[in-house]
Chain A
Amino acid sequence: MSAPARKTSTIGIRLACVQLMQQLLGSSGSMTRLLPEAQSRVAEREQAQLQAWAYGFARYSGELAGIVDQLLDKPLKKKDLDVYLLMQLGVFQLRHTPTSAHAAVDETVKVVKQLKKPWARGLINAVLRNYQRRAEELEAALTDVQRLSHPQWLLSRLQNDWPEQWQDICEQNNTQGPMTLRVNLRRGTVEGYRQRLSTAGIASQPVADAPAALRLDSPVPVAQLPGFEVGDVSVQDAAAQLAAGYLARYCPEGGRLLDACSAPGGKSAHALESGSFAHVVALDQDASRLERVEATLSRLGLTDNCQLQAVDAADIAQWWDEVPFDAVLLDAPCSGTGVIRRHPDIKLLRRDSDIDTLAALQASLLDSLWQTLRPGGLMLYATCSILKRENEQQIAAFLERTADAEALGESRQILPGESGMDGFFYAPLRKQGG
């Protein structure tokens, strides 16, 4: 027999994917950091596939483990985590991808050779074939933690904060967020850009609430976006685009803006594009992330109006020239629980204890940066969290302890998937006097 029409082998991608998951579970870093390294170990044409599998795997990790556990007579040894993950990857493909069942099983089994664990061959084969036979029964036996692929601590917090909506939230978290663009209104109109997209064969829809936004019907590489390189457009979720609306509404006179935790720079860029602010001071603690802010601003031709500094914003003695700001945007470090659909590894990496640590950090940023705001000025507190501890409770406590702070209207909690947006929180605050 001659080999069937040469299919490309997926063994390399599978191996890289299992190794990446091992690193994630060992808390060696986030997906954003580890993926490029993993991609460098596979062929260029395999990189998109690896990314899709790795994100899917992280997204459904709880469910996959729950299914494989039911199929194993006894748990595998710790040193055989790779075999355990390989089985989960096989189940992932059978459940969530159009890979043919034969390829999913056959190619998965072949990876044992690369792992130098030939003994696992029969076991993996049996687990995957049993899954195919018993899928429905295995699914029915999953717990909520497994079925929704959310760790217990997070599920408990969501159930507590959102007794009516937690199921929907979890399901939304397990989808893939749409690709949303922010049209540079200095360069053209939203409708004009929509037509350019349509000419390029890319369908898009406007988004209520976010006047500069266009949501793509299906994602495309940024290189295919007309005028991306010259700054006609940026990629930014509609929820993040609401920041500029708050700044324009409550600080229409513009002036000087502090963006305290600015990376990757989208909100500063948007504020400058909208034109009300003459000058922006953009800080970020992480110098390498600040480089991305610079890249974004220079692509959009906005560097002249912006001053970048890699510092800890809370340490105001170190960076502040004591000239008060007209507005402060505090897009605070947070749990990221509103953007799990874009960063499913959050479910694997975060621990319950992180929430208290983050809440303390947010409180300290609120207190220090409040001092840099002029009386009468606006502070916009924002997170991409959906936990009340980081959001409405955080703001309530701040207002309680800060005599000259007042809430400007209602804060807004956007839950993931609401109008197609990421989960986000905004609280506009005014400093009395002035």
Chain B
Amino acid sequence: MSLLDILYYPDAQLRRTASAITNVDGKIAKLADQMLDTMYAAPGIGLAATQVNVHERLVVIDVSEENDAPLVLINPEILTSEGEEEMQEGCLSIPGVYESVKRPAIVRVAAIDREGNPFELDADGLLAVCIQHEIDHLDGKLFVDYLSPLKRNRIRKRMEKWIRDGADLDDIPERP
């Protein structure tokens, strides 16, 4: 098991737009597995390739209690969305920060799985939020972009200081 390094906000690489995957081969499957290992170890419930500095459209997710329902989404695309829900979100690239974000409550998603088969998925609740959060990453977008500029700035300053101080995950700054 080899873990990948996660980029931290405000790293400019997080703002890149990922390109579509044209060929689902062994290399992509291996990347998906490594990303899952990295996500579980963090611990997290979703990880986009962008966050490990690979700019291809691949995300991994597992919102189950027991970490036994991994989901690999290649070239994910939101087909329809409805409703509205507000939920606390956090991000492995912005450790220690949790803020409420409003998003559509229910989404229908099309994607390709680890074996290269296309499929569609209806999601609500935490899964719906997580899928939207990860697809945002592939487009260079972060959940702090939904917050007020003032709040976002404060978070950015705090993150910059934390990175300067050595980015110690055991010493994540207190929530303001």
Name A residues whose Cβ lies closer than 8 Å to a Cβ of B: 1-5, 9, 11, 102, 105-106, 109-110, 125
Contact = CB atoms under 8 A, between A and B. Distances in A.
Contacts of A106: 125-126
A150 B166 CA distance: 65
Given A11-B65, A106-B126, A110-B65, A2 B92 contact: yes
A105 B45 contact: no
B163 to A, nearest CB: 17
A11 B64 CA distance: 12
Interface in B83-138: 85, 87-92, 95, 98, 124-126, 129-130, 133-134
Given A102-B125, A106-B126, A125-B124, A1 B91 contact: yes
A4 B45 CA distance: 9
B140 interface: no
A296 B5 CA distance: 65
A2 B91 contact: yes
A329 B130 CA distance: 66
A125 B124 CA distance: 10
A2 B90 contact: yes
B1 to A, nearest CB: 20
20 contacts: A1-B44, A1-B46, A1-B47, A1-B61, A1-B89, A1-B129, A1-B133, A1-B143, A2-B44, A2-B90, A3-B45, A3-B90, A5-B88, A5-B90, A5-B98, A9-B65, A102-B87, A105-B125, A106-B126, A110-B65
B42 interface: yes
B63 to A, nearest CB: 8
A4 B97 CA distance: 10
B176 to A, nearest CB: 14
A2 B142 CA distance: 13
Contacts of A105: 124-125
Nearest to A2: B90
Nearest to A11: B65
B26 interface: no
B27 to A, nearest CB: 25
Nearest to A109: B125
A106 B130 CA distance: 14
Interface string B52-94: 0000000001000100000000000000000001011111100
Nearest to B88: A4
Given A106-B125, A125-B124, A4 B90 contact: yes
A1 B90 contact: yes
